Structure 1
Amino acid sequence: MVMGLNLRELEVFRAVMEAGGVTGAAAQLGMSQPAASKMLRQAEARLGFALFARDRNRMVPTAEAHALLPELMGAFAAIGGVERLAAALRAGRSGQLTIAAVPVLATALLPRAIQAFRDGRPEVMVRLRATTALEAVNQVAEHRAEIGVILGHSGDPRVEATALARSEIGCALPPRHRLAAKRRLSLVELAGEAVISLSPQQPVGAALGEAQGVVHIAIEVSQSSIACALVRAGAGIALLDGYGLAEARAQGLATRPVTPRLELAVTMVVSRARAPSLLAEAFRERLVAAAA
């Protein structure tokens, strides 16, 4: 059966069909004529039927050979496709990369890293999924994403965590707010304000929850962009991480650092159970550079 043939025997068969003889086929493949003849006989023995009728110095393909040739050419085309894909993957020019990140990093940090990564890799498809830190870690641990980028730390033993940077929590407020005149705000000064923050299940909210209950959260949101929209609407002032504050400044809001100083780690997580792909390794370099 054809599956019993090795690749070299298939190459000899194709070359004989194209060259019309063993001598020409051997020259085409860079091998000796006796070696080519031997491989052709082995192929016929494996198949159980003759591929060529020997007529003096001519090789006449049998009906079976003609029937087999289209399938053979399809097999070589498939092999060529695999080889091209393997070369592209080896060079980091093709493939897919899935990244799971918390929303504020998906909008403020990841775009720069992805742009730098795809520069020169136009055939690579990147999937960026904005989700909670817990879900980002789960996606990496369950191999639904290769890289996770979160705020805070992960104690999940299924992933390896690397700290990329520190993000300082600060305050976003309307430019004409009375507190905007100060260069730095204490949490005590925010006691009488309607404070907007992320939920305690998220790193910013958890950090504020540890601030000894000085700040009263009036509005709890799931994303920094929502907090900024509420500040613009005059609903209060927001406590956000450094990337959320950058988003606030881009929207024309004032931002101020707060005391006591509160910081969050920007953390990259990868699976401990699976070695990273070449694409993932290349992206990690871009991510580290972007975070720096």
Structure 2
Amino acid sequence: MQMKQIEVFHAVYSTGSVSNAAKFLHVSQPAVSKVLHRAEDQLGYLLFKRVKGKLVPTDEAHSLFAEVSQVYQQILSLQKKARNLKSGTAGHIRLSVMPALGLNVLPLSIARFLEDHPGVTFDIQTRHYDDMIRSLYEHEIDIGLAFNPDNHVGLARYEFGQGEFVCVHNPESFPKNPDRLGLEELEGKNIISIKDSGPLSDLLFQRILQEGVSTDSAITVQTYYIAKNLVGYGMGMAIVDQLTAQAEGPGKTSFKGFTPPITYAVTGLYAESRPLSNVCQNFLGYLKQVYEELVQPAK
């Protein structure tokens, strides 16, 4: 049976008459009758008999309807899915995110997005920079959210925010309590070191090298959040991104920006060969709005 024949047969069987089926399908009665007769000719048997002026399904029609009904529902589901994909209200988003963005920005963005787009599903992975880039090239993810990413052949970018490095410290570390710090004020300080975390750590290292600042480092960690928490336990100072500095953690800490600021881009990366779906584009808009709301200016 052809698609149109399935649609007409389902409508006539469900509504009980050609006239009702025509109204349901928004077509003329002759059009319904023509499609129904053609289906019966192709099948080689009647689907309905007229008994006392009414259409009565044949045994063959009863047998077919169970299967046809399943197909019909699948067609409706497919049509709905196609409409939702066009409008960006349904779909699946595969994300890889740097840990700092997973603290508050990403969870709140997803929560707000799903309130407006309940038909969307997410697959979220926390990965370091190199693994994220590999996943994009191998099409394991749709979007990679990163700080200050390098330019990569075949990857496009959507910049949705700016951030800056800040120094997280004990409130008594700087008695004069300046609004901002010069990197030279960290000379000889016990700074918790961050193991290579990609372009962001490269940016910081280059700036420290340019300023000729020498610091002591007894502890090296892999994430800015661990470094920030170590500061809370009195283990020294740490230079981290703004989002990590704002996150809750042990102890009492403060954070200050630098003069001049050490800034970085907050960016979504995706493969040029696989343009973003409508639902992914919509989500990036939510992400941008939440980031702008949550990031606190460094003093």
Partner of 1:107: 103
> After superposition, where does 1:56-71 map in structure 2 within 5 Å?
59-71=55-67
Residue of structure 2 in register with 1:273 after alignment: 273
1:155 aligns with 2:151: yes
| C-alpha distance in structure 2 between counterparts of 1:201 and 1:192, whole Å | 23
**Matched residue, 2:142:** 146
* 2:126 paired with 1:130: yes
Runs of at least 5 residues in structure 1 that lack an aligned partner in the other structure: none
TM-fit CA distance, 1:134: 2.5
Provide the C-alpha distance between the structure 2 equivalents of 1:112 and 1:59, rounded to a whole number of angstroms: 56
Alignment of 1:85-100 (within 5 A): 85-100=81-96
Q: CA RMSD in A?
A: 2.9
Percent identity (aligned): 29
Give the corresponding residue for 1:164: 160
Write the letter of the residue equivalent to 2:38: Q
- Which letter does structure 2 place at the counterpart of 1:244? T
* CA apart distance, 1:259: 4.7
1:72 and 2:71 aligned: no
Q: 2 CA distance for matches of 1:226 and 1:283?
A: 29
Q: Which residue of 1 aligns with 2:238?
A: 238
**Cα–Cα, structure 1 residues 285 and 180, in superposed 2: closer, same or farther, change >3 Å?**
farther
Q: Partner amino acid for 1:105?
A: L
TM-score normalised according to structure 1 size: 0.83
Q: 8 Å contact 1:204–1:241 — kept in the other structure?
A: no
Cα 1:167/1:21, change in 2 over 3 Å: closer
Which of these residues, 190, 194, 212, is aligned with residue 190 of structure 2?
A: 194
CA contact (8 A) 1:249 1:255 kept: no
For residues 193 and 74 of structure 2, the distance between their equivalents in structure 1, rounded to whole angstroms, comes to: 55
Deviations 1:59-105 (A, max 9, x none): 55332222111111121122222233334444433333232211012
* Offset, 1:231: 1.0
Contact map agreement 1:106 1:128 (CA 8 A) in 2: no
Match of 2:176 in 1: 181
Cα separation, partners in 2 of 1:48 and 1:225, compared to 1, 3 Å:
same
The letter for the 1-side match of 2:213 is V
User: Structure 2 CA distance, aligned partners of 1:26 and 1:14?
Assistant: 12
Does the CA contact (< 8 Å) of 2:21 and 2:32 recur in 1? yes
1:42 Cα shift? 1.5
Cα distance in structure 2, aligned partners of 1:89 and 1:250: 44
Q: Provide the rounded CA distance (Å) in 2 between the counterparts of 1:154 and 1:192.
A: 31
CA shift for structure 1 position 283 = 1.3
Please give the alpha-carbon distance, in whole angstroms, between the structure 1 residues aligned to 2:167 and 2:19.
82
What displacement does 1:207 show? Answer: 2.4
User: What letter is aligned with 2:133?
Assistant: V
Q: Tell me if 1:50 matches 2:49.
A: no
- Supply the distance in 1 between the matched residues of 2:225 and 2:23 (Cα, whole angstroms): 68
Residue 196 of structure 1: CA displacement? 0.9
CA 1:180–1:199 in 2, change beyond 3 Å: closer, same or farther?
farther
Displacement of 1:33 after TM fit? 4.2
The separation in 1 between residues aligned to 2:158 and 2:66, in whole angstroms, is 53
TM-score, L = length of structure 2: 0.81
The match for 2:227 is 227
Displacement of 1:145 in angstroms is: 2.5
Say if 2:148 and 2:199, in contact at 8 Å, map to a contact too: yes
Change (3 A) 1:238 1:55: closer
Q: Distance in 1 between matches of 2:172 and 2:17?
A: 89
For 1:10-34, what per-residue CA distance to the aligned partner results, in whole angstroms no more than 9, with x for missing partners? Answer: 2332344345554554455444444
Specify the SS of the correspondent of 1:218: coil
Q: Which runs of 5+ in 2 are unaligned?
A: 293-299
